[in-house]
Amino acid sequence: MFNRNEGGLDRAVRILAGLGGLAMTQVGPQTAWGYIGIVPLITGLAGTCPLYSMFGWNTCPLRKS
C-alpha cells in the first residue's frame, strides 16, 4: 500500500521517541501528551511516513541492482 520511505536510523529514532513518549504516560509527568508517541512509534514500525510521501522525501538507502 505505502512504499517504504524511512531509512534504518530514521526508523530507530522514531521507535525510541515513540516509546519514550508513551513512557511519559506512566512515569515522570504522567500526562496524556505522552500518547502523541503513538504516531512516531507506528510510523517507525511501518517504515513509512505519510508526510514524507506528501513532500517527496525519502531516507531509505538506494537499492543496488
Provide the pLDDT confidence category of residue 49 given band limits of 50, 70 and 90: very high
What are the backbone angles phi and psi of residue 59, rounded to the nearest 5°?
A: -110, 5
pLDDT at 2 over 80: no
Decide which of 2 and 36 is more confident: 36
Which secondary structure element, helix H or strand E, spans residue 13, and what is its range? helix 8-23
Q: 32 to each of 23, 26, 37, how far by Cα in Å?
A: 11, 10, 10
At residue 64 the predicted structure's pLDDT band, cuts being 50, 70 and 90, is low
The full set of domain ranges for the chain reads 15-50
Asked whether the whole model's pTM tops 0.85, one would answer: yes
Cell reading at 62: 538506494
Q: Report the distance separating Cα 42 and Cα 21, nearest Å.
A: 12
pLDDT tens digits, one per residue of 5-47: 999 999 999 999 999 999 999 998 899 999 999 999 999 999 9
